[in-house]
Structure 1
Amino acid sequence: MDRKRAVEEAIHSGEMEGAYVSDEFRNDANEFAQGGMSIEQLMQRAWRRNNHRAGMDAHAGESHAV
Protein backbone atom coordinates (compact mmCIF):
# COMPACT_ATOMS: atom_id res chain seq x y z
CA MET A 1 0.00 0.00 0.00
CA ASP A 2 1.34 3.45 -0.81
CA ARG A 3 1.67 6.24 1.75
CA LYS A 4 -1.19 8.33 0.38
CA ARG A 5 -3.66 5.48 0.63
CA ALA A 6 -2.39 4.48 4.09
CA VAL A 7 -2.92 8.07 5.32
CA GLU A 8 -6.40 8.29 3.80
CA GLU A 9 -7.43 4.98 5.36
CA ALA A 10 -5.98 5.88 8.77
CA ILE A 11 -7.80 9.23 8.84
CA HIS A 12 -11.04 7.65 7.67
CA SER A 13 -10.77 4.91 10.28
CA GLY A 14 -10.17 7.43 13.04
CA GLU A 15 -13.10 9.56 11.97
CA MET A 16 -15.38 6.51 11.81
CA GLU A 17 -14.45 5.84 15.44
CA GLY A 18 -15.26 9.41 16.42
CA ALA A 19 -11.75 10.88 16.45
CA TYR A 20 -11.22 14.53 15.54
CA VAL A 21 -8.49 14.92 12.92
CA SER A 22 -7.03 18.42 12.99
CA ASP A 23 -5.97 20.45 9.98
CA GLU A 24 -2.44 20.44 11.39
CA PHE A 25 -2.36 16.65 11.37
CA ARG A 26 -3.86 16.52 7.88
CA ASN A 27 -1.12 18.86 6.64
CA ASP A 28 1.59 16.78 8.31
CA ALA A 29 0.05 13.55 6.98
CA ASN A 30 -0.03 15.00 3.48
CA GLU A 31 3.65 15.92 3.76
CA PHE A 32 4.37 12.35 4.93
CA ALA A 33 2.32 10.91 2.05
CA GLN A 34 4.38 12.94 -0.42
CA GLY A 35 7.61 11.60 1.07
CA GLY A 36 8.57 14.84 2.81
CA MET A 37 9.01 13.24 6.24
CA SER A 38 9.38 9.85 7.87
CA ILE A 39 6.71 8.08 9.88
CA GLU A 40 8.79 8.80 12.98
CA GLN A 41 8.70 12.54 12.24
CA LEU A 42 4.94 12.42 11.65
CA MET A 43 4.44 10.64 14.96
CA GLN A 44 6.71 13.07 16.82
CA ARG A 45 4.81 16.08 15.51
CA ALA A 46 1.45 14.55 16.45
CA TRP A 47 2.72 13.54 19.89
CA ARG A 48 4.14 16.98 20.64
CA ARG A 49 0.98 18.71 19.49
CA ASN A 50 -1.33 16.44 21.49
CA ASN A 51 0.89 16.03 24.55
CA HIS A 52 1.14 19.80 24.87
CA ARG A 53 -2.65 20.21 24.64
CA ALA A 54 -3.28 17.31 27.02
CA GLY A 55 -0.98 18.93 29.56
CA MET A 56 -2.88 22.19 29.31
CA ASP A 57 -6.24 20.43 29.63
CA ALA A 58 -5.07 18.39 32.61
CA HIS A 59 -4.00 21.53 34.49
CA ALA A 60 -7.10 23.54 33.60
CA GLY A 61 -9.38 21.54 35.89
CA GLU A 62 -6.80 20.85 38.55
CA SER A 63 -7.29 22.31 42.02
CA HIS A 64 -4.26 23.02 44.14
CA ALA A 65 -5.03 22.11 47.71
CA VAL A 66 -2.37 23.05 50.22
Structure 2
Amino acid sequence: MREAIRSGEMEGAWVSEEFRADVEAYIAGEITVDELGEHTRKRWASRKEALSHDRGSS
Protein backbone atom coordinates (compact mmCIF):
# COMPACT_ATOMS: atom_id res chain seq x y z
CA MET A 1 0.00 0.00 0.00
CA ARG A 2 2.75 2.45 0.89
CA GLU A 3 4.56 1.72 -2.36
CA ALA A 4 1.34 2.21 -4.31
CA ILE A 5 0.83 5.61 -2.65
CA ARG A 6 4.40 6.65 -3.43
CA SER A 7 4.06 5.49 -7.01
CA GLY A 8 0.82 7.43 -7.42
CA GLU A 9 2.38 10.56 -5.97
CA MET A 10 5.30 10.27 -8.36
CA GLU A 11 2.72 10.28 -11.15
CA GLY A 12 1.08 13.40 -9.74
CA ALA A 13 -1.72 11.88 -7.65
CA TRP A 14 -2.76 13.58 -4.42
CA VAL A 15 -3.28 11.33 -1.38
CA SER A 16 -5.22 12.75 1.57
CA GLU A 17 -4.11 12.45 5.18
CA GLU A 18 -7.39 10.66 5.91
CA PHE A 19 -6.61 7.97 3.33
CA ARG A 20 -3.05 7.63 4.65
CA ALA A 21 -4.44 7.10 8.17
CA ASP A 22 -6.86 4.47 6.88
CA VAL A 23 -4.05 2.70 5.02
CA GLU A 24 -1.93 2.64 8.17
CA ALA A 25 -4.90 1.19 10.09
CA TYR A 26 -5.30 -1.46 7.38
CA ILE A 27 -1.59 -2.33 7.45
CA ALA A 28 -1.75 -2.61 11.26
CA GLY A 29 -4.70 -4.98 10.98
CA GLU A 30 -7.07 -2.53 12.66
CA ILE A 31 -9.51 -2.43 9.71
CA THR A 32 -10.25 -4.79 6.83
CA VAL A 33 -9.75 -4.05 3.15
CA ASP A 34 -13.55 -3.82 2.87
CA GLU A 35 -13.60 -1.18 5.60
CA LEU A 36 -10.79 0.69 3.84
CA GLY A 37 -12.90 0.76 0.68
CA GLU A 38 -16.01 1.82 2.60
CA HIS A 39 -14.19 4.70 4.31
CA THR A 40 -12.82 5.84 0.95
CA ARG A 41 -16.21 5.68 -0.79
CA LYS A 42 -17.89 7.64 2.02
CA ARG A 43 -15.16 10.28 1.98
CA TRP A 44 -15.44 10.76 -1.79
CA ALA A 45 -19.25 10.84 -1.66
CA SER A 46 -19.23 13.58 0.99
CA ARG A 47 -16.64 15.60 -0.93
CA LYS A 48 -18.61 15.22 -4.16
CA GLU A 49 -21.77 16.39 -2.36
CA ALA A 50 -19.95 19.37 -0.84
CA LEU A 51 -18.57 20.33 -4.25
CA SER A 52 -22.01 20.16 -5.86
CA HIS A 53 -23.40 22.41 -3.09
CA ASP A 54 -20.53 24.88 -3.60
CA ARG A 55 -21.22 25.06 -7.32
CA GLY A 56 -24.95 25.51 -6.74
CA SER A 57 -24.46 28.50 -4.45
CA SER A 58 -22.51 30.57 -6.99
**TM-score, length basis structure 2:** 0.82
Residue 20 of structure 2: which of 4, 7, 26 is its match? 26
Q: Secondary structure at the match of 2:56?
A: coil
Runs of 4+ deviating beyond 6 Å: none
Corresponding position: 1:17 with 2:11? yes
Corresponding position: 1:50 with 2:39? no
Report the alpha carbon displacement of residue 17 of structure 1 after superposing the two structures with TM: 2.3
- Structure 2, gaps ≥5 residues long: none
Listed one character per residue, the Cα deviations across residues 15-60 of structure 1 (whole Å, up to 9, x for unaligned) are 1222211111111100100111111100110110111101111232
Report the alpha carbon displacement of residue 13 of structure 1 after superposing the two structures with TM: 2.1
Q: For residue 9 of structure 2, what is the amino acid of its counterpart?
A: E
Identity of aligned residues (%): 39
Higher RCO (C-alpha 8 Å, min separation 6): 1
- Structure 1, gaps ≥5 residues long: 1-6
Larger radius of gyration: 1
* Alpha-carbon RMSD: 1.4
